[in-house]
């Protein structure tokens, strides 16, 4: 897990929509200080049931000493969101990570178009608050199955009125169909920056639509694990650790992360699903098969870093900066 944790107090819990609660954390003691964060950041919650789960921060990045996350009580929960909804209580304390940001907001963009799908509104809401606070041109497309399942609607409407932000609402139950993102995003500007967070099918549709429309400045954040295909290789490979001097064999079917841990190393890690970025390590030599949900196509092609919890070697030898 992450090498740095903070002790956080559950200060407030609120119902934000059907099946969604927000949790506000504050430092557990006067001596504890929360680091600043940027819009798009997330934190890991180290839950008392032993699970570690990542959640995006949804409050304004200008806030001092408070982190707010929104948590959906996922019907397919493996124990994380269910614990938050059923057992986490105001007044309890737990370790959390410092914020990390894999969903960087370009604050100098001429225009930003924010697209939220369901609980994916959490980082988008933080971005919207930031962009309006610094006077940037922005608009929002918010998609959900129904309005009652859409969080932060009242706050978004109030902010939109105050700053004249165009908002497009799409609720499947009202329209009778999922959103047509190509139509919704058409004529928004080739130079605009486009951001989307939501379920995997929506992210895939968003990327297809942006490609079809010729938009180059496209950013996504996945909050669900990517599908990792079964290993195609039947041979082991060697990972050389430049800092520690260790040389470690990684057998078929085993991750680099687990192999390094078994060898006595302590790499940062959290989700083990390729979506949080905690285990990102620089690649010095070798070719990587990237299986994470974070790196862009250009970043993968550069072969400069990898997520060792899911990605693996294409070459027989990898040299990593650890």
Give the tens place of pLDDT for each residue, 161-207: 999 999 999 999 999 999 999 999 999 999 999 999 999 999 999 99
pLDDT for position 226: 59
Q: What is the mean pLDDT of residues 213-219?
A: 96
User: How far is the C-alpha of 88 from the C-alpha of 83, rounded, in Å?
Assistant: 6
Does pLDDT of 318 surpass 90?
yes
Does pLDDT of 4 surpass 80?
no
pLDDT for position 297: 78
Q: What is the mean pLDDT of residues 241-269?
A: 93
Name the 3-class secondary structure at 95.
strand
Contact of 238 with 250, CB cutoff 8 Å: yes
How does DSSP classify residue 255?
A: -
Q: What is the mean pLDDT of residues 263-285?
A: 89
pLDDT for position 229: 59
Q: What is the mean pLDDT of residues 287-303?
A: 88
Share of the chain above pLDDT 90, in %: 82
pLDDT for position 235: 83
Which structure tokens are listed for 153?
A: 């609607």
Does pLDDT of 2 surpass 60?
no
User: How far is the C-alpha of 152 from the C-alpha of 155, rounded, in Å?
Assistant: 5
Q: Return all residues near 56 (Cβ < 8 A) that are at least 6 apart.
A: 40, 41, 42, 69, 70, 103, 122, 123, 126, 197, 221, 223
Which structure tokens are listed for 141?
A: 């497309």
The topology (CATH level 3) of 112-222 is Rossmann fold (3.40.50)
Look over the chain and give the mean of its residue pLDDT values, rounded to a whole number.
92
Most confident option among 43-47, 120-124, 291-295: 120-124
Pairing of strands 93-97, 247-250: unpaired
Which structure tokens are listed for 315?
A: 């070459």
Q: Cα 86–146–186 angle (5° rounding)?
A: 125
Which structure tokens are listed for 178?
A: 């999922």
| Closest C-alpha to 100, from 137, 153, 55 | 55
Q: What is the mean pLDDT of residues 255-271?
A: 91
Q: What is the mean pLDDT of residues 270-280?
A: 85
Query: How sure is the predictor about 227, in pLDDT bands with cuts at 50, 70 and 90?
Result: low
Q: What is the mean pLDDT of residues 235-241?
A: 93
pLDDT for position 123: 98
Least confident of 54-68, 121-135, 237-251, 296-310: 296-310
Between residues 293 and 198, the one the model is more confident about: 198
Rg, Å, the chain Cα set = 20
pLDDT for position 265: 93
User: How far is the C-alpha of 12 from the C-alpha of 94, rounded, in Å?
Assistant: 14
Between residues 269 and 143, the one the model is more confident about: 143
pLDDT for position 41: 96
Residue with tokens 């369901």: 118
Cα 292 off chain centre by:
12
Name the 3-class secondary structure at 58.
coil
| Closest C-alpha to 16, from 94, 79, 77, 68 | 68
pTM: 0.84
Domain extent listing, the chain: 5-97, 112-222, 237-320
Least confident of 5-19, 73-87, 277-291: 73-87
Sign of CA dihedral 48, 54, 56, 57: positive
Which structure tokens are listed for 152?
A: 């932060």
- From the candidate CATH numbers 2.40.30.10, 2.60.40.10, 3.40.50.920, 1.10.3720.10, the one assigned to the domain spanning 5-97: 2.40.30.10
pLDDT for position 1: 46
Q: Does domain 237-320 have CATH number 3.40.50.10860?
A: no
């Amino acid at each position: 897990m992450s090498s740095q944790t903070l002790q956080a107090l559950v200060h407030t819990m609120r119902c934000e929509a059907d099946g969604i609660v927000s949790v506000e954390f504050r430092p557990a003691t006067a001596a504890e200080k929360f680091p600043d964060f940027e819009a798009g950041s997330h934190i890991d919650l180290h839950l008392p049931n032993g699970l570690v789960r990542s959640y995006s921060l949804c409050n304004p990045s200008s806030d001092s000493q408070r982190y707010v996350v929104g948590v959906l009580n996922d019907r397919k929960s493996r124990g994380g969101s269910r614990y938050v909804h059923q057992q986490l209580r105001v007044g309890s304390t737990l370790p959390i990570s410092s914020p990390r940001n894999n969903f960087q907001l370009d604050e100098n963009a001429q225009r930003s178009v924010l697209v939220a799908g369901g609980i994916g509104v959490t980082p988008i809401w933080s971005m919207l608050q930031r962009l309006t606070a610094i006077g940037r041109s922005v608009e929002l497309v918010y998609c959900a199955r129904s309005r009652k399942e859409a969080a932060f609607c009242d706050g978004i409407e109030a902010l939109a009125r105050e700053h004249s932000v165009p908002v497009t609402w799409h609720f499947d139950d009202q329209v009778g169909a999922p959103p047509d993102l190509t139509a919704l995003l058409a004529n928004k500007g080739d130079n605009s920056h486009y951001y989307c967070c939501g379920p995997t099918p929506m992210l895939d549709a968003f990327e297809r639509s942006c490609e079809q429309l010729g938009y180059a400045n496209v950013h996504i954040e996945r909050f669900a694990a990517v599908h990792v295909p079964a290993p195609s290789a039947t041979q082991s490979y060697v990972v050389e650790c430049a800092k520690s001097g260790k040389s470690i064999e990684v057998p078929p079917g085993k991750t680099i992360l687990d192999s390094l841990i078994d060898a006595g190393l302590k790499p940062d890690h959290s989700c083990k699903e390729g979506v949080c970025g905690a285990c990102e390590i620089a690649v010095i030599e070798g070719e990587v098969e990237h299986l994470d949900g974070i790196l862009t196509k250009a970043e993968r092609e550069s072969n400069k870093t990898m997520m060792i919890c899911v990605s693996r070697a294409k070459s027989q030898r990898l040299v990593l900066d650890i």
